């Protein structure tokens, strides 16, 4: 842009559709393909939803109020783009260059911004009187004031110096995010995961970090007046610590497995109620039938393929845990926190007992926001008052399952969900799922 002034050109919906089609042709190796370039184009209020615009150029573009829901912007250039009030719900912005972008009031619910660059940035041009000038929008670059990042994936994103006062990061995944010197005054982070994030020098005045994950989070020189961290999970142990290399713990787990394998004739059952089990790292494939870990902290633990039939896990913290393929038949997960847990292919149905009796698994009042239950067996389950907001229940077997009063805001449900579930009385947002 050096040597000539920046000019903006407004596009029609038809022109946008044509550019997007040529970009699709390029990505698919078809004739008449060309990389989409919307640099300094005004496409305010237009519809680009659901497109694949990876690697496209939107530098300096005006997308205010545009519908960008579900659009793929992987590695796209969104440098200094104006996306105020844009709908970016469910969009993919992985590795996108968003330096200097304006996101004031934008909806980024459930968007994937992992490794995106949201640092400061500005566009330069020659000014006859001032020399090299900076083009700015109404606010400073990279502004995300009042933006909605609820449930967004911002892992390893770069937000150094970002302006995001009163932004909503509820349930967002910010693992490893770099937010040094970011202005986050009055922003909300309840339920967010800030493990390993760097907020050094950030302004967190009056910020709500209740029930967040603050493991390894750097807050050096941060301004924290009025900041709320009630219920946050930190590096401080939440109860008796269990370490993977501790002889006592190893012996207890071995005795528990022997007790399970011999039908209680040898060994002894293990009880870890209230324990902090994070130090175990993995219990993958272990025989933990009838394990008792009420109120225990199992955050991020690998329990893939574990045998947890009849386990007592009421109020346990299983956020970010891997339970893929685990056998949880008859388990009691009442009030458990399973946010962002991997439960793909898990067996959470009823446990068959002698005399043809069934012990149904319980997810009553459990929180499974953004959890992945794709292909899980949920037959006969009792999930009264559970929160499945934005979770994936695709391909789940829900025959005879009871979801009385459960919340399904943004949930991905199987097509036969209503037909096979036994009780959906009082379910919230079922029509919006």
* Rounded (5°) CA angle 45-50-158: 80
Q: Tokens representing 4?
A: 């000539």
Residue 134's pLDDT is: 44
Residue 428's pLDDT is: 94
pLDDT tens digits along 273-282:
999 999 998 9
pLDDT tens digits along 97-146:
999 899 999 999 999 999 999 987 544 444 445 444 444 444 444 577 88
Q: Lowest mean pLDDT of 5-9, 189-193, 364-368, name the range.
A: 5-9
What pTM was computed for the model? 0.89
Question: Running DSSP on this structure, what letter comes out for residue 278?
Answer: G
pLDDT tens digits along 228-252:
999 999 999 999 998 877 788 888 8
Q: With 90 as the cut, is the pLDDT of residue 389 above it?
A: yes
Residue 299's pLDDT is: 97
Alpha-carbon dihedral sign for residues 62, 67, 70, 72: negative
Residue 121's pLDDT is: 58
* Rounded (5°) CA angle 320-326-332: 80
Mean predicted confidence (pLDDT) in 15-28: 96
pLDDT tens digits along 50-71:
999 999 999 999 999 999 999 9
Residue 432's pLDDT is: 65
pLDDT tens digits along 182-201:
999 999 999 999 999 999 99
Q: With 50 as the cut, is the pLDDT of residue 406 above it?
A: yes
Contact, 63 vs 41, CB < 8 A?
A: no
Domains in the chain, CATH or no CATH each: 1-113 (2.160.20.80), 149-236 (2.160.20.80), 237-433 (2.160.20)
338 to 22, 70, 84, 210, 272: CA distances (angstroms): 43, 25, 33, 17, 18
- What is the rounded average pLDDT for all residues in the chain? 91
Mean predicted confidence (pLDDT) in 308-336: 97
Q: 22 — phi, psi (to 5°)?
A: -65, -35
Residue 242's pLDDT is: 87
Residue 89's pLDDT is: 94
- Mention every residue, 6+ apart, whose C-beta is less than 8 A from residue 323: 303, 304, 306, 308, 341, 342, 343, 346
Residue 119's pLDDT is: 86
């Amino acid at each position: 842009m050096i040597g000539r002034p920046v000019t903006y050109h407004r596009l029609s919906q038809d022109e946008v559709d044509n550019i997007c089609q040529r970009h699709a042709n390029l990505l698919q190796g078809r004739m008449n393909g060309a990389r989409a370039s919307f640099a300094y184009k005004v496409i305010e209020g237009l519809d680009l939803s659901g497109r694949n615009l990876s690697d496209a150029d939107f530098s300096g573009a005006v997308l205010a109020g545009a519908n960008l829901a579900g659009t793929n912007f992987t590695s796209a250039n969104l440098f200094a783009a104006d996306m105020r009030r844009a709908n970016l719900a469910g969009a993919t912005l992985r590795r996108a260059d968003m330096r200097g972008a304006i996101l004031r009031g934008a909806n980024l619910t459930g968007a994937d911004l992992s490794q995106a660059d949201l640092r400061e940035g500005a566009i330069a041009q020659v000014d006859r009187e001032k020399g090299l000038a900076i083009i700015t929008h109404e606010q400073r670059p990279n502004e995300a004031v009042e933006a909605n990042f609820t449930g967004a994936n911002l892992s390893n994103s770069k937000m150094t110096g970002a302006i995001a006062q009163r932004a909503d990061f509820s349930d967002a995944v910010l693992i490893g995010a770099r937010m040094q010197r970011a202005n986050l005054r009055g922003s909300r982070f309840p339920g967010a995961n800030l493990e390993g994030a760097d907020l050094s020098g950030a302004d967190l005045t009056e910020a709500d970090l209740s029930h967040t994950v603050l493991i390894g989070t750097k807050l050096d020189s941060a301004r924290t007046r009025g900041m709320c961290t009630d219920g946050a999970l930190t590096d401080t142990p939440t109860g008796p610590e269990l370490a993977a290399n501790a002889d006592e713990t190893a012996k207890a787990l071995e005795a528990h497995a022997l007790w399970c394998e011999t039908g209680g004739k040898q060994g002894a059952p293990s009880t870890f109620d209230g324990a902090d089990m994070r130090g175990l790292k993995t219990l993958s494939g272990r025989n933990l039938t009838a394990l008792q870990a009420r109120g225990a902290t199992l955050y991020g633990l690998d329990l893939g393929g574990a045998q947890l039939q009849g386990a007592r896990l009421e109020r346990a913290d299983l956020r970010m845990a891997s339970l893929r393929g685990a056998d949880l038949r008859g388990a009691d997960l009442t009030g458990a926190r399973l946010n962002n847990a991997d439960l793909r292919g898990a067996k959470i149905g009823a446990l068959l007992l002698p005399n043809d009796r069934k012990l149904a698994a319980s997810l009553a009042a459990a929180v499974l926001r953004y959890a992945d239950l794709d292909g899980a067996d949920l037959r006969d389950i009792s999930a009264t008052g559970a929160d499945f907001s934005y979770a994936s229940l695709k391909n789940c077997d829900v025959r005879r399952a009871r979801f009385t009063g459960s919340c399904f805001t943004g949930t991905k449900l199987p097509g036969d969900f209503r037909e096979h579930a036994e009780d959906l009385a009082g379910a919230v947002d079922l029509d919006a799922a």
